[in-house]
Structure 1
Amino acid sequence: MLRFALIFVFLGLLPAQATEAGWALLRDGGHVVLLRHAITPGSGEPANFDIEKCSTQRNLTDRGRQQARKMGALFLARSDFTERVLSSRYCNSLDTARIVFGDRIVEPFAPLDRLSDDKEAAKAQNDAVMKEIRAYSGSGNFVLVTHLENIVALTGSTAREGEALIVRPEGEGLHILGRIVFN
């Protein structure tokens, strides 16, 4: 029984330890961050989805906007400055990026949109994202706000809504150096 209690406590500490290691990396600056958009309802986009109209998309919930504000406060307080932010054009990603980092440095970037079902188009999206990541050489942090499918395709790993993965290019994909979990 004691063994199970210790395992439970240890597993509960893992996200906190991973988060602290992630902040330590970002304090040094010069890192690339994949950030999954904040909390949205459901999954998949409605049938009448239009990239130009937020009213046709899954948008941040009140809890998602609150999560994004918390993320912004923590990025400001705990990391080196954020030099550049690219975001999917989907409203849940753009709103997350703008709440966290402000309008002035957020750039919509179509390759970060939800990954295409067409394999060639998806490869072109990932290639464009990898090109941006490989070209980055700034001293501040570079953040890309996107969706679960994109993160999985680039890293082979999942991320919670509002979770940040600190990454570096490795081979054809990205190696995860650290994570930050925003509860």
Structure 2
Amino acid sequence: MASTTACFDAARRRGLILGSLALAGFAHGQSADAAALAALRRGGCVAAFRHANAPGTFDPPGFRLDRCETQRNLDDRGREQSRRLGAWFRAQGLAPTAVRSSPWCRCLETARLAFGDDAVHAWDALGSPRAEGHDAQRQQAELRAALARVPAGRFEVWVSHQFTLSALVGGGTASAEGLLLRANDGRVELVGRIAPA
């Protein structure tokens, strides 16, 4: 019992215990820790999501960005995760100022199913670092600069890849998991998480 209590207390200190959320959020399968929800409401941050469930690893050899059938794509579970993600934001009354996505089809589909086709803008800076000719330093600099420009009272949604997000925050993400990020004296600060649906 003592070890269970100690583990619980340690997790709470790290901010990983889910906090006071509207019941509507749970009804849609998405949940966020209290810090994440508060950050979204304050703005000046980005909710950066790994694309929803897309079985397999990496893209097939010779894939093309302009042909989704050559890429690794979302399955039915991933499409449902994406729809739930959008439903969660709507249930919370949260509307992003911008929705930006990696140009890979699994990211674009995640963003479009969540927020609608017209809301989503493809952005090369969110692309996979596995792409040919990728410049990791330039990518990270562009993402950090864009994060620093998000004003208070507003937030953006970014949809990207595991490797891109890991490079930003130094840790992994699950499919359809969101990281609440803000700029802090030139650093990227992870202020909360949105758990996958």
**Where on the TM-score scale, by shorter chain, does this alignment land: which range?**
0.7 to 0.9
For residue 18 of structure 2, the aligned residue among 16, 27, 33 is 16
**Unaligned ranges ≥5, structure 2:** 20-31
- Name the counterpart of 1:100: 114
Task: Give the RMSD, CA atoms, in angstroms.
Answer: 2.5
Q: TM (normalized to structure 1)? A: 0.87
- The answer on whether the counterparts of 1:27 and 1:79 sit within 8 Å (CA) in structure 2 is no
- Name the counterpart of 1:82: 96
Q: Distance in 2 between matches of 1:118 and 1:62?
A: 29
2:135 aligned counterpart, secondary structure: helix
1:136-182 alpha-carbon deviations (Å, 9 max, x no partner):
22633211110010111111121111011111123554110010102
Structure number with the higher helix fraction is 1
1:156 maps to 2:170 = yes
1:4-44 alpha-carbon deviations (Å, 9 max, x no partner):
55568776x94534534322322333421111110000111
Identity %: 33
Q: Distance in 2 between matches of 1:7 and 1:117?
A: 44
- Name the counterpart of 1:55: 69
- The answer on whether the counterparts of 1:22 and 1:166 sit within 8 Å (CA) in structure 2 is yes
1:27 aligned counterpart, secondary structure: helix
How far did residue 126 of structure 1 move?
A: 1.2
Q: Distance in 2 between matches of 1:176 and 1:79?
A: 22
2:71 maps to a residue whose letter is Q
For residue 41 of structure 1, the aligned residue among 55, 65, 68 is 55
- The answer on whether the counterparts of 2:99 and 2:157 sit within 8 Å (CA) in structure 1 is yes
- The answer on whether the counterparts of 1:34 and 1:144 sit within 8 Å (CA) in structure 2 is yes
**Unaligned ranges ≥5, structure 1:** none
Q: TM (normalized to structure 2)? A: 0.81
Q: Distance in 2 between matches of 1:166 and 1:182?
A: 13
- Name the counterpart of 2:137: 123
